[in-house]
Amino acid sequence: MKTYLPKIDKLNRDIDEQPRKWHVIDANGAVLGKVATMAANILRGKNKPTFTPHLDTGDFVVVINAEKVVLSGKKETDKVMTTYSGWRGGQKQFSPADVRAKHPERLIERAVKGMIPRNRLGRQIFKKLKIYAGADHPHGAQAPTICEIS
């Protein structure tokens, strides 16, 4: 099976004719990994027949109810998340429960960021992700479609 590689000018023409779509994912009661996988696939464009690994062919994703996402098993308390600033003594460890208390959006941000490429393309793709802790979002004018998590 060969990978479909569109020409750059054809891709730009197609994007101008058909603007990027907006998708809403409701994370209320959904498992974090499933929400992150669905968001990452839509952001990269893997759900489209014109998916190209080295081009940004994906759509925008809005995740609502980020504070109500569920972690399976005992990950809420037992999982250890680590950050390191690069300075001596700059390593910090915390649990997902701590992150949920302060910034519930960061759980989903961190999970999706780990599923996209770590390069310029990945940083460009990540900008199309919008995450909100509550059920309200300001993107109603874009007429987003609701995605069901299987």
| Domains, the chain, ordered by start | 20-147 (3.90.1180.10)
122: confidence class by pLDDT, cuts 50, 70, 90: very high
**Contact between residue 58 and residue 39 where contact means Cβ atoms under 8 Å apart:** no
* 12 vs 29: CA distance, rounded Å: 38
In this prediction, residue 2 carries a pLDDT of 77
Mean model confidence pLDDT for the chain: 91
pTM of the model: 0.88
- The DSSP 8-state label assigned to residue 57 in this structure reads -
**Contact between residue 108 and residue 65 where contact means Cβ atoms under 8 Å apart:** no
pLDDT by residue (tens digit) across 46-105? 998 878 888 888 999 999 999 999 999 999 999 999 999 999 999 999 999 999 999 999
CA distances from 71 to 65, 75, 85, 87 (A): 14, 6, 26, 31
